[in-house]
Amino acid sequence: MVPRIVEVRKNILKKNDALAAELRERFRRAGVFVVSLVSSPGAGKTAFLEVTLRHLRERWRVGALVGDLATDNDARRLVRSGADVQQITTGTVCHLDADMVGRALEKWDLDAYDLLFIENVGNLVCPASYDLGENLRVVLMSVTEGEDKPLKYPTIFNTADLAVITKADLADAVEFRRDDAYANVRSVHPGIRVVETSTRWADGLAPWFRQLEQWLATEVRTPTAVRSTSRATLP
Ligand code: MG
Ligand code: ZN
């Protein structure tokens, strides 16, 4: 049985890769820079995205897609930022795929955006295997989750372009071992950049904004290298 299941999964991922490649081309033509956010549930993705949208809206035309299993709470929260936001309710599916993103964007005029964020369903496992056509994948982990998340979920950390540590304001309270966390992230993805953030501090997202603006300066106006779509790693 196992080989057949693996075969089916392979085909699903192959189809996803093809759709993701089409999306990536669509994004490139529209000149929209796409960032996906992945984390476990409760790591603070939505708070992070809300502050991010608010900040970027001053200078960029931004939109966001938000994946969630059942509720639209996150989308309603993000609308407060003033950015265009659309909910993707996945039902029982614990990740977004390229087809869901493509369908959600059917009615969007991508030319009207500089930046699009995609908040994935809270899950560190299968989002690793589904390319969404994004330019950058950001993985978030909060200081309250423990330092060994990267060791437990190496694939998502390995396929991410940036690791963001969230809720840094709680680091002392939970005796967060910063050096261990960094070492763990880099043991599964050597050289990856890591930034620490807090949505509770004034300018608590500054390190992230600096990193993002650096990327925008170098990448948005020039064609981005098409990232490998074969990131599929079967369990
Ligand atoms: Mg959320
Ligand atoms: Zn899933």
- Rounded to an integer, the average pLDDT of 47-61 is 95
Distance (Å) from CA 67 to ligand 2 centroid: 12
Rounded Cα gap, residues 232 and 150, in angstroms: 18
**Nearby residues of 4 by Cβ (< 8 Å), 6 or more positions away:** none
What letter would DSSP give residue 219?
I
Q: What is the per-residue pLDDT for 4? A: 76
Distance (Å) from CA 215 to ligand 1 centroid: 24
Q: What is the per-residue pLDDT for 9? A: 84
Which string of DSSP letters, residue by residue, matches 78-136? HHTTTSEEEEEE-TT--S--HHHHHHHTTT--GGG-SEEEEE--S-SSGGGG---S-SE
Distance (Å) from CA 197 to ligand 1 centroid: 16
150-175 pLDDT, tens digit each: 999 999 999 999 999 999 999 999 99
Least confident of 118-127, 183-192, 209-218: 209-218
- Torsion angle of the four alpha carbons 158, 161, 163, 166, in this order, in degrees rounded to the nearest 10: -130
Q: What is the number of the ligand closest to the CA of 120?
A: 1
Confidence of residue 1 (pLDDT cuts 50, 70, 90): low
Residue type, 144: T
The reported pTM is 0.90
To the nearest 10 degrees (0 to 180), the angle between helices 206-215 and 45-56 is 60
Q: Residue 15 is encoded by which pair of tokens?
A: 């189809």
- Rounded to an integer, the average pLDDT of 23-51 is 96
- Rounded to an integer, the average pLDDT of 174-187 is 97
Confidence of residue 226 (pLDDT cuts 50, 70, 90): very low
Q: Where are the domains of the chain?
A: 2-224
Distance (Å) from CA 69 to ligand 1 centroid: 10
CA-CA distances (angstroms) from residue 100 to 138, 143, 146?
A: 19, 31, 32
Q: What is the per-residue pLDDT for 6? A: 80
Distance (Å) from CA 211 to ligand 2 centroid: 29
Q: What is the number of the ligand closest to the CA of 90?
A: 2
- Rounded to an integer, the average pLDDT of 187-214 is 96
Distance (Å) from CA 122 to ligand 1 centroid: 7
Distance (Å) from CA 95 to ligand 2 centroid: 4
- The answer to whether the CB of 167 falls within 8 A of the CB of 142 is yes
Number of H helices, E strands in the chain: 8, 7
Q: Residue 67 is encoded by which pair of tokens?
A: 């994946």
Q: Please write down the long-range contacts of 177-182, taking CB distance under 8 Å and 24 or more positions apart.
A: 177/147, 180/147, 180/148, 181/141, 181/143, 181/147, 181/150
Distance (Å) from CA 94 to ligand 1 centroid: 13
Distance (Å) from CA 121 to ligand 2 centroid: 8
Q: What is the CATH number of domain 2-224?
A: 3.40.50.300
List the shell of residues around ion ligand 2, using CB closer than 5 Å: 94-95, 126
